[in-house]
Amino acid sequence: MTALLALPEGLFALLAALRRLLYRCGLKSVTTLPVPVVIIGNINVGGVGKTPLTESLLRDFAALGVKVGVISRGYGGSHTAPTLVSARTPASLVGDEPLLLAATGAPVAVGRDRIAAARLLLQQHPHLDLILSDDGLQHYALGRALEIVVLDGERGLGNGHLLPAGPLREPAARLRSVDAIVVNGGDASRLSLPPGVPCFCQRLAPSAFYRAANPAETRQAQDFAAERVVALAGIGNPQRFFDTLQRLGVTLQRSIALPDHHPLAAADLPQDADAVIVTAKDAVKLQCVNHARLWILPVAARLEPDLAPWILSRLKETNGRKIS
Instruction: Give the single-character DSSP code of 93.
Output: H
CATH number given to 3-204+302-319: 3.40.50.300
For residue 237, pLDDT beyond 70: yes
φ, ψ of residue 5 to 5 degrees: the values are -90, -20
pLDDT-based confidence at 321, cuts 50/70/90? low
Which are the contacts of 104, defined by CB distance < 8 A and separation ≥ 6?
55, 58, 59, 62
pLDDT-based confidence at 229, cuts 50/70/90? very high
Question: For the chain, what are the domain ranges?
Answer: 3-204+302-319, 208-297
Q: What is the pLDDT of residue 264?
A: 86
Q: How many residues does the chain have?
A: 324
Share of the chain above pLDDT 90, in %: 80
Q: Is 47 labeled as ligand-binding?
A: yes
Share of the chain above pLDDT 70, in %: 97
Nearest-5° angle of CA 82, CA 84, CA 89? 115
8-22 pLDDT, tens digit each: 888 988 998 999 999
Q: How far is CA 23 from CA 86, 119, 143, 255, in A?
A: 34, 21, 10, 44
Q: Is 45 labeled as ligand-binding?
A: yes
Q: What is the pLDDT of residue 87?
A: 83
What's the mean pLDDT in 254-262? 92
Instruction: Give the single-character DSSP code of 134.
Output: E
Q: Is 236 labeled as ligand-binding?
A: no
pTM, entire model? 0.93
| Rg for the chain, CA atoms, rounded | 20
For residue 76, pLDDT beyond 60: yes
User: Rounded to whole angstroms, how far apart are CA atoms 151 and 186?
Assistant: 10
Q: What is the pLDDT of residue 268?
A: 87
Whether 102 and 87 have beta carbons less than 8 Å apart is answered as: yes
Strands of the chain, DSSP E: 37-41, 68-72, 83-85, 108-110, 130-134, 146-152, 180-184, 199-206, 209-211, 214-219, 229-233, 254-257, 275-279, 294-297, 299-304
Nearest Cα residue to 164 out of 259, 17, 45, 19: 45
Which are the contacts of 11, defined by CB distance < 8 A and separation ≥ 6?
none
Q: Is 44 labeled as ligand-binding?
A: yes
For residue 290, pLDDT beyond 70: no
Q: Is 28 labeled as ligand-binding?
A: no
For residue 261, pLDDT beyond 90: no
Q: What is the pLDDT of residue 324?
A: 59
Q: Is 290 labeled as ligand-binding?
A: no
- For 148, the 3-state DSSP assignment is strand
